Structure 1
């Protein structure tokens, strides 16, 4: 039980571990935990678009793909040019303490190796999460988001993910909540029936 408690504290570090690429974008902040949560939601949706994919497996891959960053931190693309992180050791050190250590090792290896349909979908979910963040910052005026978008799209492997990326990029990020019902936004309530 102590090892599990320690694991949950370790996973909690992801709430406080920043995704470092946003410093180069010039705006935005996001923790690894925030990123992983939305990545899992995207992965689940993508898996349901593919009749041959196991949605549960995609969820597992998405939820665990960045757990090593609780130990290593998040390295952006610039830092990766100069630094080499021993992620394999971080994975092994944690796996040795977990009752599901073999599963954890397997998830990380599958995600890293992109050795399954589910891993490819999880990778696409990871990139789509970044595309969503870029679109949100673009809608708030960050002009660099347009420069980053093509590189993220080129990383996508599935047709469904590429189609979803196009839709994301042409959808106003506020439209999900700000509809055309002007009365609601003026009065804060629906108009009476017959009015």
Structure 2
């Protein structure tokens, strides 16, 4: 039980770990845990849109995909050109002593390889989570994020992901509530 509790405290670190790519945008911020929530939420939706996918596996991949960052930190694309993190070692150490550690390793490996339907959807969910945030920042007047939306959109591989991305880019970030609540109340 002690080892499981250690895992939970390690996962807690993701709430405190900022995603480093936002420095290049000039605005916005997000913790790794906030990102993990959003990618998992998107994976849930994508799983509903793809009933042939194993939804549990898809969501588990998304939940776990950045867990090694609790040990390595969040390296952005520029940092990865100069710093070589040993993610395999981080994962090995992370799962050591866990009865379900082998399953975690399999899910993380499958995500990294990106070959299964679930892994492709999870990887697209990862990009879509970033795209959602970029779109919201751009819609609220931030200029930097708009430059990155096309770059991120090009990383999306599945038809479901491309369809979601297009709809997301065509929709104002606040349309979900503005359409309903912007109308003055009707008199009774």
TM-score range, shorter chain: over 0.9
Give 1:1-195 correspondences, 5 Å limit: 1-179=1-179, 181-182=181-182, 190-193=185-188
| Offset of residue 163 of structure 1 | 1.2
Q: Distance in 2 between matches of 1:150 and 1:31?
A: 23
- Change in 2 beyond 3 A, CA 1:183/1:174: closer
| Offset of residue 98 of structure 1 | 1.4
Structure 2: gaps spanning 5 or more residues: none
| Offset of residue 51 of structure 1 | 2.9
Scaled by the length of structure 2, what TM-score is found?
0.95
Paired position in structure 2 for 1:187 = none
Q: Distance in 2 between matches of 1:11 and 1:84?
A: 22
| Offset of residue 144 of structure 1 | 2.2
Q: Distance in 1 between matches of 2:178 and 2:10?
A: 38
Give runs of ≥4 in structure 1 deviating > 6 Å: none
| Offset of residue 191 of structure 1 | 4.3
CA contact (8 A) 2:42 2:128 kept: yes
| Offset of residue 56 of structure 1 | 1.1
Choose 1 or 2 for highest CA Rg.
1
Q: Distance in 1 between matches of 2:183 and 2:144?
A: 36
Q: Distance in 2 between matches of 1:180 and 1:102?
A: 47
Scaled by the length of structure 1, what TM-score is found?
0.92
Q: Distance in 2 between matches of 1:181 and 1:53?
A: 36
Tell me how large the CA RMSD over aligned residues is. Answer: 1.3
Q: Distance in 2 between matches of 1:129 and 1:154?
A: 14
- Change in 2 beyond 3 A, CA 1:101/1:192: same
